């Protein structure tokens, strides 16, 4: 009898193969009090476990084949760097000394603090970094408990198998990719986790968030996973298997054709050049960017320079981080978004003060920057100095009023004056833009456009704020609708403001990376898309098959339609 379960599609492709169950689980931790004479040895035991974890990750990094993109190692390097950070190395040791508790318990205390900090974050991408904290801390805990903490590839060949696990780390994924696994399924995880990003970069079909997968699927039984729909099928008959094998061959051919577009310009059939750029955060994201042939970076998140650390990155560290990306882009433009964090706890895991009840409506993004001008100016200085190394744009997040924009631009001018006084080189014409991600900003876009060089529509927040829903809340996320008439009108309003002011308007939310909306957005006048690199080639294919002259009238018809089902039907017709 066939069994169908579903999860979150994170890496496209069809995989057919036998199940390999990976049962590790999370180590159970208990507290016990130490004698005073045992504290020193317990601290040493903890430090030894951290060192062993680091050595283990380095050994996996060394197994990466030479023909694999070099930046793949950066996924593992990010975890190695976490093991060097004082938040995981010094703080737990301090807890052992202060509370006279065992290393496992001290690490659990710090784990809970860090997880609480990440859970407060409004940015989905940053909140997903919880996975990295969990992965690294679980590795240390397993070493402390002398448990198995890696995939035992030598004991049982994994070639052609589908891994089923509670969760996988980037190190697991790299190690299994060298063993030519067919795909993987996890019970935990999300589309923005580093493991999911790595799966997409390496072309491994994957489905995550499949609840109870390890109990539902049996060792060695043949299953099918559809990385495009998030479906997992067990017990399929021969006819169904043949059907999926045919789909598998067709999808491989389609991906081959998409890869052939990497170095082809995105241009409509009536000759309009469209800019397709990538959203990134860390250096490892450059793997997928190169594979996609992106025209540059339309959104570079900088929050990693501030979170999960005792002190935010200083000007020199920020400058080095920005220059590293600029060098990798080799002359392509880099759009750097200034700090976009919310509640205090996001910024400092040790913060003990009261937290805002609703971080989405509290002190976040540009509001935070204008509250801490020195911190804001320091980042602006670093970005400006980086502009001397290559094309850079500054993007201000969540601007809601003209007063905020004027104040932010004033601080930018102060930063420029300081750099001139100190004789630092920078591009005096560095473009400055603002995120349009709340209704107030869209309604004021014509005002902002007069003082800016570009606008960028952040559809994730714009939809959330317009419809008053949290898209990660299972009870209301069905209301999250990019095609809602109000959302489309705000997008159109922003695009028209840009055209009137003769400045470019980009879109950097998930809507820009969804092929269902590409033709509609082209018809409304969007000419700059920025999304995850894995989406760009499919978007490019649609662009290159489209004529703007054939899209404008249907797009206006959709814009003037108010019935949701009718809008969906018209979009389907537009997509042919």
Position 28 in a domain: no
pLDDT number for residue 534: 79
Q: What's 510's DSSP letter?
A: G
Q: Do 126 and 40 have their domain in common?
A: yes
Strand runs labelled E in 376-502: 392-396, 432-436, 454-457
Spatial separation of the C-alpha atoms in residues 283 and 268, rounded to whole Å: 31
Spatial separation of the C-alpha atoms in residues 101 and 107, rounded to whole Å: 10
Q: Are 366 and 338 in contact (CB under 8 A)?
A: yes
Q: Do 40 and 121 have their domain in common?
A: yes
Give the position of tokens 């940015």: 123
Closest CA to 518 of 293, 274, 290, 154: 274
Q: Do 421 and 522 have their domain in common?
A: yes
Q: Do 438 and 500 have their domain in common?
A: yes
Structure-block tokens of residue 528:
């700059």
Beta carbons within 8 Å of 170's beta carbon, 6+ residues apart: 75, 76, 78, 79, 135, 194, 195, 198
Task: Tell whether the model's pLDDT for residue 198 goes beyond 90.
Answer: no
Task: Tell whether the model's pLDDT for residue 338 goes beyond 50.
Answer: yes
Q: Are 322 and 301 in contact (CB under 8 A)?
A: no
Position 200 in a domain: yes
Position 54 in a domain: yes
Task: Tell whether the model's pLDDT for residue 348 goes beyond 60.
Answer: no
pLDDT number for residue 24: 66
The rounded mean pLDDT for the chain is 87
pLDDT number for residue 168: 85
Band the pLDDT of 147: cuts 50, 70, 90.
low
Among candidate residues 144, 177, 196, the one where a domain is terminated? 144
Q: Do 385 and 415 have their domain in common?
A: yes
Position 430 in a domain: yes
Band the pLDDT of 242: cuts 50, 70, 90.
very high
Position 468 in a domain: yes
Provide the domain limits for residue 310. 263-349+358-575
Query: 150-154, 173-177, 399-403: lowest mean pLDDT where?
Result: 150-154
Give the position of tokens 């002398």: 146
Beta carbons within 8 Å of 280's beta carbon, 6+ residues apart: 286, 289, 297, 299, 300, 301, 325, 533
Catalytic residue IDs? 194, 508
Task: Tell whether the model's pLDDT for residue 193 goes beyond 90.
Answer: no
Among candidate residues 120, 144, 168, the one where a domain is terminated? 144
Q: Do 407 and 302 have their domain in common?
A: yes
- Residue 216 sits in a domain whose CATH number is 3.50.30.10
Task: Tell whether the model's pLDDT for residue 344 goes beyond 70.
Answer: no
Position 109 in a domain: yes
105 compared with 199, residue with greater pLDDT = 105
576 compared with 185, residue with greater pLDDT = 185
Query: 54-68, 210-224, 341-355: lowest mean pLDDT where?
Result: 341-355
Our CA angle for 425, 431, 433, nearest 5°, is 135
Percentage with pLDDT > 70 across the chain? 88
Position 29 in a domain: no
Q: Do 188 and 42 have their domain in common?
A: no
Q: Do 444 and 560 have their domain in common?
A: yes
pLDDT number for residue 352: 47
Point out which residues pair with 273 in neighbouring strands. 267
Closest CA to 150 of 119, 123, 185, 176: 176
Q: Do 189 and 128 have their domain in common?
A: no
Among candidate residues 96, 122, 144, the one where a domain is terminated? 144
Q: Do 52 and 80 have their domain in common?
A: yes
Band the pLDDT of 154: cuts 50, 70, 90.
very low
Q: Do 139 and 276 have their domain in common?
A: no
- Residue 53 sits in a domain whose CATH number is 1.10.274.10
Position 30 in a domain: no
The number of folded domains in the chain is: 3
Which stretch of DSSP H or E encloses residue 195? helix 194-202
Instruction: Encode pLDDT of 506-561 as tens digits.
Output: 999 889 988 999 999 999 999 999 998 878 999 999 999 999 999 999 999 999 99
Instruction: Encode pLDDT of 374-395 as tens digits.
Output: 999 999 999 999 999 999 999 9
Q: Do 88 and 220 have their domain in common?
A: no
pLDDT number for residue 70: 46
């Amino acid at each position: 009898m066939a069994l169908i379960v579903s999860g979150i599609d994170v890496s496209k492709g069809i995989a057919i193969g036998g199940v390999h169950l990976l049962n590790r689980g999370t180590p159970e931790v208990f507290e016990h009090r130490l004698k005073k004479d045992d504290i020193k040895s317990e601290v040493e035991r903890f430090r030894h476990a951290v060192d062993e974890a680091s050595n283990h990750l380095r050994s996996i990094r060394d197994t990466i084949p030479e023909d694999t993109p070099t930046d793949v190692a950066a996924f593992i390097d990010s975890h190695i760097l976490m093991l060097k950070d004082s938040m995981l190395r010094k703080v737990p040791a301090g807890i052992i000394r202060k509370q006279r508790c065992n290393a496992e318990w001290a690490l659990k205390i710090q784990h809970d603090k860090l997880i609480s900090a990440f859970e407060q974050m409004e940015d989905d991408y940053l909140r997903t970094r919880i996975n990295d904290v969990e992965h690294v801390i679980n590795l240390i805990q397993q070493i402390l408990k002398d448990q198995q903490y890696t995939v035992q590839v030598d004991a049982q060949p994994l070639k052609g198998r589908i891994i089923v696990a509670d969760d996988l780390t980037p190190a697991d994924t790299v190690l299994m990719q060298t063993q030519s696994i067919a795909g993987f399924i996890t019970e935990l995880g999300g589309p923005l986790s580093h493991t999911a990003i790595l799966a997409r970069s390496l072309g491994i079909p994957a489905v995550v968030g499949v609840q109870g997968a390890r109990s539902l699927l049996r060792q060695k039984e043949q299953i099918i996973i559809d990385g495009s729909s998030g479906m997992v099928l067990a017990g399929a008959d021969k006819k169904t298997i043949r059907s999926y094998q045919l789909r598998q061959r067709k999808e491989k051919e389609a991906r081959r054709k998409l890869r052939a577009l990497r170095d082809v310009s995105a241009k409509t059939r009536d000759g309009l050049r469209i800019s397709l750029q990538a959203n990134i955060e860390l250096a490892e994201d450059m793997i997928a960017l190169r594979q996609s042939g992106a025209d540059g970076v339309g959104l570079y998140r900088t929050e990693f320079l501030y979170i999960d650390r005792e002190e935010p990155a200083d000007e020199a560290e920020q400058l080095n981080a920005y220059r590293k990306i600029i060098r990798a882009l080799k002359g392509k433009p880099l759009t750097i978004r200034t700090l976009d964090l919310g509640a205090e706890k996001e910024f400092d895991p040790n913060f003990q003060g009261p937290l805002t009840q609703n971080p989405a409506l509290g002190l976040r993004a540009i509001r935070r920057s204008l509250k801490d001008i020195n911190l804001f100016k320091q980042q602006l200085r670093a970005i400006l100095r980086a502009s001397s190394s290559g094309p850079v744009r500054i993007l201000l997040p969540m601007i809601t009023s003209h007063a905020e924009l004027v104040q932010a631009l004033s601080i930018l001018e102060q930063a420029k004056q300081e750099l001139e006084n100190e004789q630092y080189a920078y591009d005096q014409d560095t473009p400055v833009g603002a995120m349009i991600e709340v209704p107030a900003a869209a309604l004021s876009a014509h005002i902002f456009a007069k003082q800016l060089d570009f606008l960028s529509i952040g559809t994730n927040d714009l939809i959330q704020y317009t419809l008053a829903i949290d898209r990660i809340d299972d009870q209301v996320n069905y209301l999250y609708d990019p095609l809602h008439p109000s959302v489309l009108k705000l997008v159109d309003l922003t695009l028209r403001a840009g055209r009137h002011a003769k400045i470019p308007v980009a879109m950097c939310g998930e809507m820009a990376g969804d092929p269902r909306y590409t033709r509609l957005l082209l018809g409304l006048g969007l000419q700059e898309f920025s999304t995850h690199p894995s989406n760009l080639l499919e978007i490019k294919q649609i662009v290159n098959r489209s004529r703007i002259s054939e899209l404008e009238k249907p797009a206006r018809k959709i814009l003037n339609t108010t019935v949701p089902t009718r809008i969906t039907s018209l979009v389907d017709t537009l997509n042919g």
